[in-house]
Amino acid sequence: MKRKFLFPFFILFVMACAVPGMGAPAPAPLATLPLGGLETAIAGTAGAAQTQTAILLPTATFTPSPTRTASVTPTPTVTFIYNFFTNTPLPSETPSAVVSISGTNAGGASLDDKGNPIFTGEPWTCRVTGRQPPMWTVVKANKEFFVYFTILNTGTKDWTINTIDFVYTGGYRHEGTKIQDLPRNAPSGGTVVVGARFIAPKKAGEYSSYFTLMVGRRSFCGMKISFVVEEK
């Protein structure tokens, strides 16, 4: 009896497993997209992706394109002309001395060839030992020439370019400045050459010019040059 009672239940269990409709409820059917719905969904998905990408990208900085720089018109250059005074060129060789030291006296003082003492023992003295051109040289009218004096420092003080001046004092005026510095220092017993540039007068005749050395306001060591301008 018990076997007959279980058999119908076994048959029902087998049928439930074999027939889907008699088991778990069937899944809900998929939603049917309207016509063109798939394309719309794809387009929306692509737009959303582009929007997301645009948000994540860094903001571009605007760089202005280079503008052309206007060319600068050059202004005319101002030219300055300077006229500098040219010192009288000194001769390459010292003129031969007129006064020579030939010996000493009993006290040991230097003497010239005439037996006169060379050095005076005074602070500011000199002796002209050379002159170019020689006195009374003939020159052509309106022509340039130069005069040089070689002078010996016979005093006890040294001559320096900052303390001693070569000064025009009178007669026919030379070219250039009236007062000139010494070209170099001359210690006691040393020599220095000074000079002046001349333009001979247009009129024939005899002319003389006078110069001196000066220390402060004191004049010493007078010099003279005389020359002759010939007839044209």
Q: Residue 211 domain-assigned?
A: yes
pLDDT of the residue at 14:
53
CA distance 3 to 146: 166
CATH number at residue 135: 2.60.40.10
Q: Residue 114 domain-assigned?
A: yes
pLDDT of the residue at 117:
84
Q: Residue 193 domain-assigned?
A: yes
Instruction: Give how far Cα 13 sits from Cα of 1, 3, 18, Å.
Output: 20, 16, 9
Q: Residue 141 domain-assigned?
A: yes
Number of domains in the chain: 1
Q: Residue 3 domain-assigned?
A: no
Q: Residue 155 domain-assigned?
A: yes
Cβ within 8 Å of residue 141, ≥6 positions away: 200, 201, 202, 203, 204, 229, 230, 232
Q: Residue 116 domain-assigned?
A: yes
State the residue range of the domain holding 192.
109-229
pTM of the shown model = 0.57
Q: Residue 66 domain-assigned?
A: no
pLDDT of the residue at 220:
97
pLDDT of the residue at 111:
76
pLDDT of the residue at 231:
81
pLDDT of the residue at 191:
96
Per-block average pLDDT, block size 10, for the chain (232 residues)?
53 55 49 50 50 48 51 46 46 43 47 80 96 97 97 97 97 97 96 97 97 97 97 77
pLDDT of the residue at 171:
98
CA distance 230 to 159: 38
pLDDT of the residue at 98:
39
Beta bridge partners of 214: 165, 219
